[in-house]
Amino acid sequence: MGISASIMKKMGMQNLNYTDKIYDKYFKEDSITTLEEFHVAFIDLCSDFNSIMPGKHYELPPRKDIKKFFDDTWETNKNNPEEQKKKLIDFMCENVKESKSGSAMILTGLAAPPAAIFLKKAVDNMPQAKKFRLHLVPNFAFVPSFTILSLVGVRLVQTYQKSKTALQ
């Protein structure tokens, strides 16, 4: 008995053909005995989905939700692996959400190069900022560097916000 394709489709994972093999890879019947082992396997599964699925990325539910699922559902269905599998897929469909962080990265990637050129020209007209001598740095080096630093900054802010909300 395999994992229903309609459930996988609901999550946007309709491209996965070998769902039983994937499930068995992470959640072997006797290998998960503690919450920590379950949590690591769940994170590995979601991480692999993020690396496999082109364009779509998924955010994990908070640890307290995973703990609640493990205590209430996983442990109570120890003797029924098929029921565990079904409940896990239902849990993932309800709690693993598609990440919305891509739009900020795209907007930053589009806005950073013109902002870099504007910054270089604006610095030439500001006496306090002339000491940085940005006019000596060629555009072919400054614009990509500025863009990459902007993208890194956006990613750090997003990571900080996620970790801040996860701790609450």
Q: Write down the domain spans for the chain.
A: 5-98, 102-167
Distance CA 23, CA 82 (A): 11
The single-letter code of the amino acid at 95 is N
- Long-range Cβ contacts of 65-74 (<8 Å, 24+ apart): 65/95, 66/38, 66/39, 66/42, 67/35, 67/39, 69/95, 70/35, 70/38, 70/39, 71/35, 74/32, 74/38
Higher pLDDT, 147 or 26: 147
Contact 23, 85 (CB under 8 A): yes
pLDDT band at 153 (very low <50, low <70, confident <90, very high): very high
Q: Note the pLDDT of residue 135.
A: 83
Mean pLDDT is lowest, of 5-19, 30-44, 104-118, for 5-19
pTM of the model: 0.55
Higher pLDDT, 56 or 104: 104
How many residues are there in the chain?
168
pLDDT tens sequence across 10-22: 444 444 445 677 7
Distance CA 81, CA 79 (A): 6
Q: Tokens 């082109």: give the residue.
A: 54
